[in-house]
Amino acid sequence: MSRRVTFGGRLIDRHQTMPFVFDGERMCGHPGDTLASALLANGIRLVGRSFKYHRPRGVFAAGIEEPNALVTVGEGPRATPNLRATVVPLVPDLAARSQNRWPSLGFDLGAVADLAARFLPAGFYYKTFMWPRWAWEKIYEPLIRRAAGLGPAPAAPDPDHYEQIHVEVDVLVAGGGVAGLMAAETAARAGARVLVMEAAAHWGGRAPVEGEEIDGRPAEIWVEETLARLTASDKVTVRSRSLVAGVYDHGHVVAVETLDRPLAGGSLDGAVLRQRLWHIRARRIVNACGAIERPLVFPGNDRPGVMLASAVRDHLINWGVAPLERPVILTVNDEGYHTAELLLEAGIAVAALVDLRPKGAGALERALRARGVRVILGAGVTATHGRKGVKGVTIGRVKTGETLTRLACDGVAMAGGWSPSVHLWSHAGGKLLWDEAAQLFRPDPTRPPRGGDGAPLVIAAGAAAGDLEIGAALAGGRAAGLEAAEALGLERPDMPLPASRGRPAGTRSGDWVVPRRAKAAQKERMFVDLQNDVKLADLELAVREGYESVEHAKRYTTWGMATDQAKTSGINGLAALSLARGAPIPAIGTTTFRPPFAPVTFGAIAGLARGPLFKPLRKTAIDGWHEAAGAVWENVADWRRPFSYPRKGETREEAAAREVLAVRQKVGMLDASTLGKILVKGPDAGRFLDMLYINTMSTLPVGRCRYGVMLNEQGFVIDDGVVVRLAEDSFLCHTTTGGAGHVHGWMEEWLQTEWWDWQVFTLDQTEAFAQIAVAGPKAREVLVALGVKGADISPEGLPFMHSCAAEIAGIPGRIHRISFSGELSFELAVPADRGLELWEKLAEVGAPFGITPYGTEAMHILRAEKGYIIVGDETDGTVTPHDLGLGRMISKKKTDFIGKRGLERPFLRRADRWRLVGLEPVDGQTLLPVGAHATDHGINMFGQRRAIGRVTTSHFSPTLGRPIALGLVERGPERLGEEIDFLTTEGETIRARIVDPVFHDREGRRLHG
């Protein structure tokens, strides 16, 4: 059983205890513990169930690479799943629970999957759950989701706070080990602004654990002193518990700092500032993230008790915990011997040291034997025994697997060599080279990731560069600092390299997989990727089935995917593929390392962009009045607009119907401020608009309005609106509510990139003016009562489609006689800051005339009754002016306009295109669903019924007292009076008659009134 020992414990405070809860059981640890070290100190060995087979798993590592001990920390909305217990700092009353088990960790029904493991091989999902298609959604997926997976996502919003910060630095150093600290100090001494980030809560990386010396003193002291100097420097920012998660294009780096800090000013609900996401722009990045020890692949290598030798040393020295009490040490290099020495020093028994190398380790080996430790050479572990944890192992020959002996033990400490953490190097495109002697991939300095200036962006240092010895790591850190300084044009600083003493790396075995000739049954228990439950057998199957490429095998088996990102599994997977394909590892290649290096919470990514801050909401100058009047809202593009103004007891639809009738019978007022209003001005303005619209604008007389339609180059409608000629050289272009930004951008694009010699300015004035439509038979009477000066608004003075400047109720503005309702209508435009004033006056003087505010729904119904199109309803990016019955608007005289050549394409002129028509349900009462398709007899090439049209707009018309609709129908205008069938999603059929799209006042008498 694992336990706390008196040996070691440099990071914990033994004088204080700290209570915490795991799976409902109360336990105690010390300040400075991680959740993993505290669990091990309490003898907890089983901490989770594996992803796919629900096999029991224990703490495996001591850092971010932990593949097994994934836990959920916190309760309710604060619960964070899939945290690595090895990097969760213990805090008072921390509540954690194990994952992926039901009903309990000790007794897990899902473990049946393990018994059926040979029926659940790689690619099983792809092969089994293919057919029938409906069953995927209804049966397979929910089943798989429950059986396999990680912790559940919390169901309620996270009450804690997250923030984001943007910084620019000269040099970012990722990793606070001796190489990183050396690089940081060197660069800072040259005058660079440096940011140093360390993922762990403590500094110095492995050097203090390995008992190495710098300047004749323990490395720990050098680390403390260097850190103190860096912290004191105003050139350097130092952050621990800060994970550099990803390196992106041009030196954009994302890092996550965990704070768990009370909010400034306190909080009522106990909310804390959880994390801070850093967006860093670094001119140079030093990757000094160290290396990850490599597990070995042998049968039963996933049982609780099997762990990395480095993790055994870390737990002993850092946290005073013996994770194992009588381990077998399995090693490919000299590090197993050092681990054994350390355990003996701490008073812990070693069952045996098993060295894969036939020649052993010379003096180290003799010393260990002299202390009574059994040493077995040229052998490995060929089986582990014990149900929920290792109770014994079988030792066999590396090549053949021939059994040598069986030993009682409580675990296996594996020293499998090291894999440099090249992730940050690789994220932005750095390439790797295979170091045959050290048997590892290291960054290839001749093929670095490059920045926008074309120069190397990332510099690797220390173990992350493959320099595993302390002297080389310090020298590499110094060289990285110098390289960064030089690249920044800084003078080379005087930076002495301190003397150091550590352990030589020694030789290592080229074997990872024991036995090399494993039997099929053994391969089913030889785990390559613990987090994703990928076994040697799976990778072999992938190769057998043709997924030989490393990227294919990865996806077929899920090896190294998701949050693991090939930390403990990478090189072993390559070794497995190498064996299966009979090719050397460098010929296999590596998979792509993707950010993030370790998982990042959604809270940190979202930061403050939640709720109302997620996206700005645009409001008109009159918004407050609408709100006070009880408007129900509709979001249109980024705006919120009143849908209707329900009175007590009215539904929103009933209110809209009342508003429609008020406009038709009396008068209504609409806040039309959201309409795009773009000023186009200059000597070439008319010529420019002639290119932009299908019709001619240059011939429009001053003070007149013209409805215009805009196409893209393909000939499809993209926007429409009324153009007003304000003066000889200036036009006001109205756009759709959602289109203002796009249309303004569209204009600028053409002016700047195609016709840059034309003299035209554009200005988006949408927010500068409030615009109010006063529509209905009594509209003119209301305007007279309101008081209009400087303009004649009589039918002769201001006819339909005319516009004039005027003083409206004392406010300077313009009156456009344009109509989207089919009624007598004036649109009043005044400066936005006086919009509310005008609206309130209108409501006041209009009251005797029965003026009624109306919303977007009434506006939509009014226009539908008139057969007016809305871009985005009647059009979807594949509809031409001809399809909409607007072909006659197209100027025949213009030699060119945007979309003219596109419209000439023959298929856009075919007679059988879907064209705009009105639709009336034959029964006079059923509302056609928008989007419903009409079908014809026969089937198409896909065996589907042939669609011949669809409904684009559908309303109950209060004016006509029956449902009406608009739609696009094959040869529609040629088929007036015909009846066609529309299908609903419920499978019902609604018969409708094809009619003219103008349902109301076809002659337009009311409009011109």
Partner 1 sequence: MLRLTCPHCGITAEETELRPGGEAHLERAGPGASDEGFEAWLFARKNPMGVHFERWRHLYGCGKWFIAARHTVTLEVFGTYPAQTKAPPADLVERIRARLSARGGQAEPGAGAGDGEGGKA
Binding site residues, partner 1, CB under 8 A: 248-252, 281, 429, 447, 450-454, 713-714, 745, 748-749, 752-754, 756, 895-896, 900-902, 904
Helix and strand counts by DSSP (H, E) for the chain: 26, 53
Least gap, CB of 603 to partner 1 (angstroms): 21
Least gap, CB of 752 to partner 1 (angstroms): 4
- Rounded CA gap, 964 and 962, in Å? 7
Judged by CB, which is closer to partner 1: 752, or 985? 752
- Rounded CA gap, 544 and 550, in Å? 13
Least gap, CB of 248 to partner 1 (angstroms): 6
Judged by CB, which is closer to partner 1: 606, or 804? 606
Judged by CB, which is closer to partner 1: 178, or 254? 254
Judged by CB, which is closer to partner 1: 450, or 971? 450
CB-count burial class (<10 Å; 0-12, 13-18, 19+) for 379 = buried
Least gap, CB of 760 to partner 1 (angstroms): 14
Least gap, CB of 910 to partner 1 (angstroms): 16
Q: Give residue 816's identity as a one-letter amino acid code.
A: H
Structure tokens given for 804? 């004039």
Judged by CB, which is closer to partner 1: 83, or 709? 709
Structure tokens given for 582? 């009979």
Judge whether 27 and 95 are in contact, CB under 8 Å.
no
- Rounded CA gap, 948 and 935, in Å? 6
User: For the chain, how big is the Rg over CA atoms in Å?
Assistant: 37
Judged by CB, which is closer to partner 1: 126, or 248? 248
Least gap, CB of 243 to partner 1 (angstroms): 19
| Residue 733: other Cβ atoms inside 10 A | 28
CA angle 717, 933, 864 (to 5 degrees): 55
| Residues near 718 by beta carbon (within 8 Å), at least 6 away in sequence | 710, 711, 712, 739, 742, 743, 746, 871, 877
Least gap, CB of 454 to partner 1 (angstroms): 4
- Rounded CA gap, 780 and 645, in Å? 23
Judged by CB, which is closer to partner 1: 131, or 756? 756
Judged by CB, which is closer to partner 1: 246, or 958? 246
| DSSP secondary structure letter of residue 652 | H
CA angle 685, 687, 689 (to 5 degrees): 70
Judged by CB, which is closer to partner 1: 261, or 901? 901
DSSP string, 255-268: EEEEEEEEPTT--T
Structure tokens given for 722? 């009324």
Q: How far is CA 669 from CA 129, 183, 778, 825, 1006, in A?
A: 58, 69, 11, 10, 17
**Own/partner pairs, 361-369, CB within 8 angstroms, 24+ separation:** 361/334, 361/337, 361/506, 364/334, 364/337, 364/338, 365/337, 367/337, 367/341, 368/337, 368/340, 368/341
Least gap, CB of 411 to partner 1 (angstroms): 45
Torsional sign, CA 925, 926, 927, 932: negative
Q: Give residue 29's identity as a one-letter amino acid code.
A: G
Judge whether 419 and 569 are in contact, CB under 8 Å.
no
Q: For residue 248, give the H/E element and its range.
A: strand 242-248
Judge whether 915 and 965 are in contact, CB under 8 Å.
no
Least gap, CB of 970 to partner 1 (angstroms): 25
Least gap, CB of 749 to partner 1 (angstroms): 7
Judged by CB, which is closer to partner 1: 627, or 754? 754
Least gap, CB of 712 to partner 1 (angstroms): 9
Judged by CB, which is closer to partner 1: 753, or 925? 753
- Rounded CA gap, 696 and 843, in Å? 38
Judged by CB, which is closer to partner 1: 366, or 901? 901
Q: For residue 385, give the H/E element and its range.
A: strand 379-385
Least gap, CB of 767 to partner 1 (angstroms): 16
Judged by CB, which is closer to partner 1: 748, or 923? 748
| Residues near 688 by beta carbon (within 8 Å), at least 6 away in sequence | 680, 682, 747, 750, 751, 755, 758, 760
- Rounded CA gap, 66 and 375, in Å? 29
Judged by CB, which is closer to partner 1: 895, or 944? 895
Helix (H, G, I), strand (E, B) or coil at 993: strand
Least gap, CB of 688 to partner 1 (angstroms): 15
Judged by CB, which is closer to partner 1: 101, or 193? 193
